[in-house]
Structure 1
């Protein structure tokens, strides 16, 4: 991912605050024996230092992780297409672009196969995704889930590197960005409101 200086996260707090409200992304691992990368869309839990998740035992990601445990979790959101006419006073001279936020976490993967370890990951994920409760006991040898633990494997992903990008025309003058903001508000396609929110938040840094 190319990150120009003006698109980079302002500091660690910015990308952490953004990621704190997101828990779905893509887990990518190198392919085995020269094969293409294996990419798995998945929910996850980021606790600030590591990512926890579980996947079905037949998932093809396992062979890839065991062959090369350095993986990437990619999360993106708040995206919108910005038409060429919005970016120039002379519409036919404008260059279109994409607005988006993206955080890519490089991680060292540790496979979790013991029952208690998998139960702990499932406990924490359920508590995160279903904070209202009501999902029953999560234990290695009791409750409604323990018989299904053999069908999954867990992953603990220790974060060893972060690349964060917030691409919202930050190098452009405020008047230019105000015009784009107005265009997003008027068009109001799915994604426009969240992209506009991020764009205006970044505008306050200028």
Structure 2
């Protein structure tokens, strides 16, 4: 396969996987906390949190990318402070990971919420009556029962991050070898006459990666459900 792809194409593929991996890894704990808060807690502003968590799902990706640029750019409210301590996100691969993670976040939260809502709360209450702390209940009772939803959410988020374009190109630009992921590489190739075949190869790779993630998500979730049913 190495002979079929040019160095530029390999860079785009490997960078896309790297960006999607770190986007999913960093967003999973926050998505877990958000889903748990929305399902199990009652607090002022809960509807606002729910709206913010799902906002990237309904906003145009370019708008989300522009908002990230305003917030995390070198002149932004958070970005300026991060720059003072040596962390720059805009126009770096880390910025691409942030943008992809933000766009994938609502899908992950949704999957985790559905999984959490399906858990019988009486199981958690029974553990509480035995003296278990809330953290211990979550680790030993809630989280294991959420495993199918966690697997589904993280893999779907990974697939979404692989294909993210609008927010990524707005916040991290399209720099070959640095921030050029598969979607942005396809976009750049389609602007050059005679590069349609190269773009088509990347399209096929993108489809294969996405389908593999979806099939893996279904298989792992199914296996986890069977193990839970057998307990």
TM over 0.5: no
Structure with greater strand share of residues? 1
TM-score by length of 1: 0.23
